[in-house]
A and B are shown apart, each in its own frame.
Chain A
Amino acid sequence: MAHRLLRDHDADGWERSDFPIICESCLGDNPYVRMTRADYDKECKICTRPFTVFRWRPGRDARYKKTEICQTCSKLKNVCQVCLLDLEYGLPVQVRDTALSISSHDAIPRSDVNREYFAEEHDRRARAGFDYESSYGKVRPSDTILKLQRTTPYYKRNRAHICSFYVRGECIRGAECPYRHEMPETGELSQQNIKDRYYGVNDPVALKLLNKAGEMPSLEPPEDESIRTLYVGGLDKRVTEQDLRDNFYAHGEIESIKMVLDKACAFVTYTTREGAEKAAEELSNKLVIKGLRLKLMWGKPQAPKPESETSEGARQQAAVAHSGMLPRAVISQQQNQFQPSGSQDQPPPMHYFNIPPPPQQERTFYPSMDPQRMGALVPSQDGENKTGPEKPQEGQRYTYQAMPPPLHGQYPHQLYPSYGYMPPMPPYQHYPPYHSAMPPPSQAPPTAQLYQQSGTPMPPAIVNAPPASRPSVSTPSGSAPSGAPLASAASGSTLQ
């Protein structure tokens, strides 16, 4: 202690502060957080100047976190002192700078004395009232960055570190070991360097995110000109019809809004096609209501509900197709025939897109009766509720009923698609969660199959969508191209 008292802190440029600059995720979910403050406790990882270290526990199952870089460095880049991600968007520095085309690369020197001098100068000026960092507030958010940003706090990063003894098989602490007993993730993402992350250079996470951003498809209008309905997915009970109206009215006159709460989705129909297109363009990948990121896709006309006029013949056909377990090729022909005729001249009141009609057709009641469950790749009627409960963990994620635009014209797919489809690959059922901005990969295998049959070329959006970091090529959900050959293999001889 004595040596600290003898130093003149101001003269040396040591930093003292009263509260950390941190993001919500790092602060944690507990509103009652106890934080210790230690002046000049550690040196900043970037500029190596002593600074005030704050230490707290961000929640019950979290490790203790402490500030790693000083406030000067964090203000220069507008990042959290702990995780070094942007305070507003939660993105790595490199991503934010590329997306907003900011380049302060050259401004911050990186070599020893230069860096210390720069940091001190900046600090001194900031304290004297010269306002540097407001430049980050003035930049208008771009489309890309709005698509990429994190909307909810991410607490997984607050978990305890991996127990290195466990990795070697030597952890003798057993139950009282506070570290995680899991195997560490390997791969390029695990080699990160705090300086690289801070300066926005050569950051593997940022590169991955940027690649993904480049491949995010834009929402193309479907070829069928009369579709004026947008599908909104990922709803919650917090989002009301009024919220949807508020968000969607700006782009065109809303004809109707139909909310389907049990499927966590809604359908917004415009009076004009242009309104729908405009809305799609403006809101695609950017729709965030009450902090909930919503998925926006084009609505797909569907085998209508029994109340609807044109339905009868279509439904009978569908019923036959479904319960008769016809080969896929036949069914798709049927679908192609009936679809163009049946779908487009339905007057509003609403198309109930992909909502299961009440069970009036012959249904399969046992998994063994259901072709999808047993491995045949039959694109079924929407009433596939059986497969839903069987794959509950994916059901929520894959309740994207709206087809991506190029699939327009095909028969609507079941509600809980995909992994009912791929019993040949049970070990690959467990997927890491996808970023919600991605087009539903679940659509990829079924669409792949359909494309196999009908010979339609695979839409580029779907093909490119899954990121390269999928665990293995053979994972069915992983990449559509591999999904296609697998699907075709699984579907047997009736195809091709």
Chain B
Amino acid sequence: MTGQTMPKVKTNRVKYPEGWELIESTLRELQAKMREAENDPHEGKRKCETLWPIFKIVHQKSRYIFYLYHRRKEISKELYEFCLDQGYADRNLIAKWKKPGYERLCCLRCMQPRDHNFATACVCRVPKHLREEKVIECVHCGCKGCASGD
């Protein structure tokens, strides 16, 4: 049968910008770690606790990219934007890290007053010297304290 074929579909082939080879290995590792965390069984963990590794790894990946671009300036803006677009880092989280006081923010939920009773932030945002309980794991992401001072 000739002539009648499906229309050609435009695929978006990923074109890696220069400098990609330097960071690729770390990013692949982190991705593998994420996949592992996603497939972890839930045995022995509390319901909220099962999601904590996900938040942790997202934080870690975003941290890596954030440091490379904003602090160490080792990658180009193009590569940075590329990583954000491809989902190797969380753009919104990095946006918060640029603000004073939020440099160590664990996740976006913990600072969202809408997500909490009495319109507060999560307990992990409270500095340790102001808290009564010293050892905590916040229920959203398992953070033990992300105030900038500590």
Chain A interface residues toward B at CB < 8 A? 34, 36, 60, 174-176
Q: B137 an interface residue at 8 Å Cβ cutoff?
A: yes
12 contacts between A and B (CB under 8 A): A34-B117, A34-B118, A36-B117, A36-B118, A60-B132, A174-B135, A175-B134, A175-B135, A176-B133, A176-B135, A176-B136, A176-B137
Could you tell me the distance between the alpha carbons of A36 and B119 in the complex, rounded to whole angstroms?
Answer: 11
User: Would you give the shortest CB distance from A157 to chain B, in whole angstroms?
Assistant: 20
Interface bits B111-150 vs A (CB < 8 Å: 1, else 0) = 0000001100000000000001111110000000000000
Question: Which 5 pairs across A and B sit closest by C-beta, in order of nearness?
Answer: A175-B135, A176-B135, A176-B137, A34-B118, A36-B117
**B49: nearest chain-A partner, CB-CB:** A173
Chain B interface residues toward A at CB < 8 A? 117-118, 132-137
User: Would you give the shortest CB distance from B119 to chain A, in whole angstroms?
Assistant: 11
**B134: nearest chain-A partner, CB-CB:** A175
**B44: nearest chain-A partner, CB-CB:** A172
Which residues of chain B are within 8 angstroms of A36 by Cβ–Cβ distance?
A: 117-118
Which residues of chain B are within 8 angstroms of A60 by Cβ–Cβ distance?
A: 132
Which residues of chain A are within 8 angstroms of B132 by Cβ–Cβ distance?
A: 60
**A173: nearest chain-B partner, CB-CB:** B137
Could you tell me the distance between the alpha carbons of A304 and B126 in the complex, rounded to whole angstroms?
Answer: 62
Beyond A175-B134, A175-B135, A176-B136, 9 additional pairs, beta carbon < 8 A: A34-B117, A34-B118, A36-B117, A36-B118, A60-B132, A174-B135, A176-B133, A176-B135, A176-B137
Which residues of chain A are within 8 angstroms of B117 by Cβ–Cβ distance?
A: 34, 36
Could you tell me the distance between the alpha carbons of A176 and B48 in the complex, rounded to whole angstroms?
Answer: 15
User: Would you give the shortest CB distance from B57 to chain A, in whole angstroms?
Assistant: 21
Could you tell me the distance between the alpha carbons of A214 and B132 in the complex, rounded to whole angstroms?
Answer: 45
Could you tell me the distance between the alpha carbons of A60 and B135 in the complex, rounded to whole angstroms?
Answer: 15
**B136: nearest chain-A partner, CB-CB:** A176
Which residues of chain B are within 8 angstroms of A174 by Cβ–Cβ distance?
A: 135
Which residues of chain A are within 8 angstroms of B134 by Cβ–Cβ distance?
A: 175
Could you tell me the distance between the alpha carbons of A176 and B117 in the complex, rounded to whole angstroms?
Answer: 21
User: Would you give the shortest CB distance from A38 to chain B, in whole angstroms?
Assistant: 10
User: Would you give the shortest CB distance from A170 to chain B, in whole angstroms?
Assistant: 10
**A172: nearest chain-B partner, CB-CB:** B44
Could you tell me the distance between the alpha carbons of A175 and B137 in the complex, rounded to whole angstroms?
Answer: 10
Could you tell me the distance between the alpha carbons of A381 and B136 in the complex, rounded to whole angstroms?
Answer: 55
**B117: nearest chain-A partner, CB-CB:** A36
Could you tell me the distance between the alpha carbons of A480 and B137 in the complex, rounded to whole angstroms?
Answer: 51
User: Would you give the shortest CB distance from B135 to chain A, in whole angstroms?
Assistant: 4
Interface-centre pick from A36, A174, A176 (highest chain B CB count, 10 A): A176
